Amino acid sequence: MAVTQLVGAKIHRREDPRLITGHGHYIDDFTRQGTAYAAFVRSPVAHALVKSIDITEATKAPGVVAVYTARDFKGQLAGTHPAAPAFVAEKKYVPERFPIAETEVTYQGEIVAAVLAETKGQAADAANMIQVEYDELPAVMDLEKALAKGSPKAHESGPDNVCWDFTYTPLDLTEAAFKEADVVVKQRILQNRLAPVPMEPRGVLAEYEGFDKKLTMWLSSQNPHFIRLFVSGALGLKESQVRVISPDVGGGFGSKISPYPEDYLVPALSRMTARPVKWIETRTESIQNATHGRGQFYDCEVAAKKDGTLLAMRVVQYVDVGAYHGTFGAFQPVACLMAGGGYKWKGISARTVGVLTNRVPTDPYRGAGRPEATHLVERMVDLVALELKMDPVDIRKKNFIQPEDFPFTQNFGLVVDSGDYEKSLDKALELAGYAELRKRQADLRKQGRYFGIGLSTWIELCGFGPSAATAPATGGIALVESAQVRVTPTGAVIVYTGTHSHGQGHETTFSQIVADQLGVPLDSVELRHGDTAEGTSFGYGTYGSRSLAVGGVAISKAVGKVIDKGKKLAAHIFEAAEEDVVFEHGNYHVKGSPDKSKAFGEVAFASYGMGLPEGMEQGLEAVAYFDPPNLVWPFGAHVAVVEIDAETGTAKLEKYIAVDDCGNIINPMIVDGQIHGGVVQAIAQALYEEVVYDESSGQLKTGTMIDYLIPSMGEIPPLILDKTITPSPTNDLGVKGIGEAGTIAASIAVINAVCDALSPLGIKHVDMPATPDKLWHMMKEARK
Amino acid sequence: MKHKVAVTVNGRKHEHEVEPRLLLVHYLRDVVGLTGTHIGCDTSQCGACTIHVDGKAVKSCTMFAVQADGRSLTTIEGMANGDELHPIQQAFWDEHGLQCGYCTPGFIMAAAYLLEQNPNPTEDEIRRGLEGNLCRCTGYVNIVKAVQSAAKTMSGAPARKTQVVAGGN
């Protein structure tokens, strides 16, 4: 890279002026002339056979354009929802899914009919007039019972409720280690089901132009190209006939990756009625239908020596798949592969079981599999420390993978690229005033107060992700990333990336990289994304903390190609050998004669002129794809300080410290923002949030923001942040991902603090969410 | 049956015939065409639709359009003075008080009313004062900072303005 002026600097976001003035463009801000509005009739029950649907009254309602049921979409929509074969070689059963149910509904919220009307209100009114008769069936809601012989089935036609059952590494692998153990600690650890709840719900606007046979759809998506791929296939169109535009996206957190039933139905409705069709999700529809996260439990066992040396771990993961296999739902078993955390183990045996239930499908949610892994390993390590009466700091330091061990091949063959775990832990302890906190804890305990300190020394794999590892998991399409850089005759630079921001500030970060590399002002660079009609032929989207570590590197590669072409042209202009021309500070010049110099813009202009070197074509633009050689491995150490009210059971977070390492940093302000948001989302999982269904009827009990507790400002303590910087050797920018770090790290720091606070009562383990009600009952029970 | 509604929005007069069930937020977005006011829930929890009605912060999903008849409304689009940002908008930009930006208009409107009521709030007063607005991206850290910084600017301290830093030569 040429000069570094912008990379590493706190550059204020270029996207903000429109967003702070009310001029952003979110999905509901788009409407086409002649738009009809869709409303969907959804199953009010978790599991039933659809006996009949009476649309007579609805068809006659004011403003109604059309009413359709499943049969009407036959011939309009082919196939089923794609379910990625991801990461689990042995699939037992993947139920077929059509975007609209015909004979059987398998979760509350599944679509059974669609209404189109002239206004939103009329569509909603008419949807209420549709009479559906259901024959209710038993709902499968409990993972363990679902696996028992003779259990009711989530799908009547399925063989049983096992979606997958896969052993990565068998039990006998760890047998010897367990035999030599001085202590064995066992624990079942729950992962509460969560609703992602981006502040902007989903929505789709589709316009099919029959004479051109072209479909344009606007939707709130993290990966518009994959939506184009899936929707074109389902509608029997070529990808070239479909344009997908994902405008400003009001948050996603994983819930806007996969295609949804409405993403197929709305364009089909447009084609069926020759009208632009719009549908915007209500918040209740969102909590009911947008894919959920987590929803798992783990049976864990750890073997250790008396001195705290960790020997081996056994883990069985049970995943609540939901009623259908989420498109990327089978990514969740990555938790098994990451179960060892940042420690050395002789062996880890791991098995994952995916279980079908009558709930909405689960899919990746911020962190996806890696928060679960951190939560379980950091919980187990604390339990071992408690058993051995060791300080949680000492057991961690004793077992960390050491800086000189990198690149480190862990138990599942993944190669951890870099790290310095002790350094980040020391920094976090210093910021927390750990020794002081322990003294204070001893004093408070004497007063009968419940004060706890929790650690999380987390590691992450992200930046998906080497083609060799990801192509088999995504149906053949490797998760690489594309970029295109176009330089206009006047030297303006337009950059297209296949990633798509939903709040991460790519317009700023990526422009910083390009401006530095080209030595041009930031405002000469325009970053564009989210429209499949522009830029490269395919983009891979934003999830898994991959945008910078894969997409940013692709951009940098494309810029490099442009610089190289410019160099050839400059050499020709200077009548010098190409190898004598250098590009520095935005100028080409001949080595040793700085007076022979052309600015990048001048060379750009010349590239559109005549008199180019023989064989060179006009123009200055380049495409690059980046296939990373490895994943990237961020890490860090968090400390949570909690006091639990002895009377009410309320856990109050007094202090939260996060020291994170994401390699080189392009924009520290944005990195801090990502950590803030991630940490708070994980605090919310630890203390507040849980999707609750009635266990017998399968009714969703947390279907609004009244019942599903997103924390507000009042609940959240100030966060203290710091960082260490260990550049990644995996890519030229030395960067790692940071989008998910906070959620990966924080839930267990809080829960370990809660457990530490309650340990004088003999309470060893608390599951999430640690609500006042739960803690009050546990404390009451323990005091008996 | 439709009802007449006459309101002033950001200083401009509007008159429409609307259904009595039309919510004020839908009126602003779909009838007046000001889409900066957002909808994030159906139950008045999230505050994304916060506007000012006769100078008071109101979640515009809690009122029918007809109830606003004769009132003066300010939305996020009415906060800047031409190209000059309102100090609170400026502070959200300076302090990275937004990520996806969806909740931001509501926060800015709620913060403006808070600072009018209490020009020098403590951190605790800010946190309690803006509890009615939800954000899923920022963890609230930089929203609190933005409101603190705006309070300073508005009480007369010299304004700090974010400008895009030019790089290269």
10-residue stretch averages of pLDDT, chain A, 784 residues long: 74 98 98 97 98 98 98 90 64 87 97 98 97 97 94 95 93 95 98 98 98 97 96 96 98 96 98 98 97 98 98 98 90 94 98 96 96 98 98 98 98 96 98 98 98 98 89 81 98 97 97 97 96 96 95 98 98 96 96 90 97 96 97 98 98 97 97 98 98 94 96 91 97 96 98 98 98 98 94
For A15, list phi and psi in degrees, rounded to 5.
Answer: -80, -15
Q: Mutate which of A1, A19, A740 to test chain B, going by most B C-beta atoms within 10 A?
A: A19
* Domain stop point among B25, B49, B78: B78
* Domain stop point among B78, B103, B136: B78
Q: Do B139 and A28 touch (CB under 8 A)?
A: no
pLDDT in tens, B113-164: 999 999 999 999 999 999 999 999 999 999 999 999 999 999 986 555 554 4
Closest-CA distance of chain A to residue B70, Å? 24
Domain housing A227: 31-137+199-251+256-289
pLDDT in tens, B95-109: 999 999 999 999 999
Say whether the ipTM exceeds 0.90: yes
d(CA A49, CA A104): 4
- Tokens encoding A35: 């738009």
In-domain check, residue A113: yes
Q: Do A20 and B41 touch (CB under 8 A)?
A: no
- Which phi-psi region, left, alpha or beta, contains residue A581 (left: φ > 0; alpha: ψ -120 to 50)? beta
Q: Do A586 and B169 touch (CB under 8 A)?
A: yes
For B107, list phi and psi in degrees, rounded to 5.
Answer: -65, -45
For A16, list phi and psi in degrees, rounded to 5.
Answer: -70, -40
Chain A contacts of B39, Cβ < 8 Å? 28
Q: Are residues A400 and A519 in the same domain?
A: no
**Alpha helix (H) residue ranges in A539-660:** 553-574, 600-607
Q: Are residues A278 and A307 in the same domain?
A: no
Residue of B nearest to A504 (CA): B99
* Domain stop point among A585, A606, A626: A626
Residue A94's pLDDT is: 86
Q: Are residues B69 and B104 in the same domain?
A: no
> Which residue in A9, A522, A679 is closest to B139 by CB distance?
A679
Tally the domains of chain A. Answer: 3
In-domain check, residue B149: yes
- Does any CB of chain A come closer than 8 Å to the CB of residue B19? yes
Q: Do B141 and A14 touch (CB under 8 A)?
A: no
Q: Are residues A302 and A234 in the same domain?
A: no
Q: Are residues A236 and A377 in the same domain?
A: no
In-domain check, residue A180: no
Tally the domains of chain B. Answer: 2
> Which residue in B37, B39, B141 is closest to A719 by CB distance?
B141
User: Which residue reads 């979640």 in tokens?
Assistant: B59
Residue of A nearest to B139 (CA): A677
Whether omega before B119 lies within 30 degrees of 0, making that bond cis, reads no
- Tokens encoding A296: 């798992």
In-domain check, residue A146: no
In-domain check, residue B142: yes
Q: Do A253 and B167 touch (CB under 8 A)?
A: no
Q: Which of A388, A350, A390 minimizes the C-alpha distance to A369?
A: A350
In-domain check, residue A163: no
Q: Are residues A384 and A309 in the same domain?
A: yes
Closest-CA distance of chain B to residue A29, Å? 6
In-domain check, residue B70: yes
Q: Are residues B67 and B8 in the same domain?
A: yes
Q: Mutate which of B27, B75, B100 to test chain A, going by most A C-beta atoms within 10 A?
A: B100
Chain A contacts of B130, Cβ < 8 Å? 712-713
Domain housing B100: 87-154
Q: What residues contact residue A596 under an 8 Å CB cut-off, 6+ apart?
A: A574, A576, A589, A590
d(CA A564, CA A613): 14
Chain A contacts of B76, Cβ < 8 Å? 20-22
Q: How would you label A509-530 residue by residue, b for 16+ Cβ within 10 Å and e otherwise?
A: bbbbbbbbbbbbbbebbbbebb
* Domain stop point among A563, A591, A626: A626
Name A209's bridge partners. A214
Q: What residues contact residue A624 under an 8 Å CB cut-off, 6+ apart?
A: A482, A483, A484, A554, A555, A557, A558, A560, A561
- Does any CB of chain A come closer than 8 Å to the CB of residue B114? no
Q: Are A229 and B80 in contact (CB under 8 A)?
A: no
Q: Are residues A766 and A644 in the same domain?
A: yes
- Which phi-psi region, left, alpha or beta, contains residue A476 (left: φ > 0; alpha: ψ -120 to 50)? left
How many CA atoms within 13 Å lie on the side-chain side of B4?
3
Q: Do A251 and B102 touch (CB under 8 A)?
A: yes
> Which residue in B38, B42, B103 is closest to A704 by CB distance?
B42
In-domain check, residue A164: no
In-domain check, residue B159: no
Provide the 8-state DSSP code for A530. Answer: S
Report chain A's terminal Cα–Cα distance, integer Å.
Answer: 66
Rg (CA), chain A: 28
* Opening angle at CA A766, ends A765 and A769, nearest 5: 160
In-domain check, residue A174: no
Residue A384's pLDDT is: 98
Q: Are residues B117 and B150 in the same domain?
A: yes
Q: Do B166 and A522 touch (CB under 8 A)?
A: yes
Q: Are B115 and B151 in contact (CB under 8 A)?
A: yes
Give residue B167's pLDDT band: very low, low, confident or very high (50, 70, 90): very low
In-domain check, residue B27: yes
> Which residue in A199, A512, A522 is closest to B40 by CB distance?
A199
Q: Are residues A230 and A264 in the same domain?
A: yes
**Alpha helix (H) residue ranges in A320-408:** 334-337, 370-388, 392-399
Q: Are residues B63 and B101 in the same domain?
A: no
d(CA A541, CA A361): 21
Q: Are residues A732 and A704 in the same domain?
A: yes
Q: Are residues A575 and A596 in the same domain?
A: yes
Q: Do B168 and A520 touch (CB under 8 A)?
A: yes
Q: Are residues A653 and A698 in the same domain?
A: yes
Q: Mutate which of B85, B102, B149, B163 to test chain A, going by most A C-beta atoms within 10 A?
A: B102
In-domain check, residue A2: no
Please report, for the domain that includes residue A549, its CATH number: 3.30.365.10
Predicted model pTM: 0.96
Q: Are A89 and A72 in contact (CB under 8 A)?
A: no
Q: Are B66 and B27 in contact (CB under 8 A)?
A: no
In-domain check, residue B69: yes
In-domain check, residue B104: yes
Closest-CA distance of chain A to residue B133, Å? 7
Q: Which of A24, A222, A669, A248 minimizes the C-alpha distance to B106?
A: A24
* Domain stop point among B78, B106, B139: B78
Q: Are residues B74 and B112 in the same domain?
A: no
Q: Are residues A242 and A101 in the same domain?
A: yes
* Domain stop point among A602, A626, A650: A626
Q: Which amino acid is at A20?
A: I
Please report, for the domain that includes residue B9, its CATH number: 3.10.20.30
Please report, for the domain that includes residue B93, its CATH number: 1.10.150.120
Q: Are A710 and A197 in contact (CB under 8 A)?
A: yes
Please report, for the domain that includes residue A88, its CATH number: 3.90.1170.50
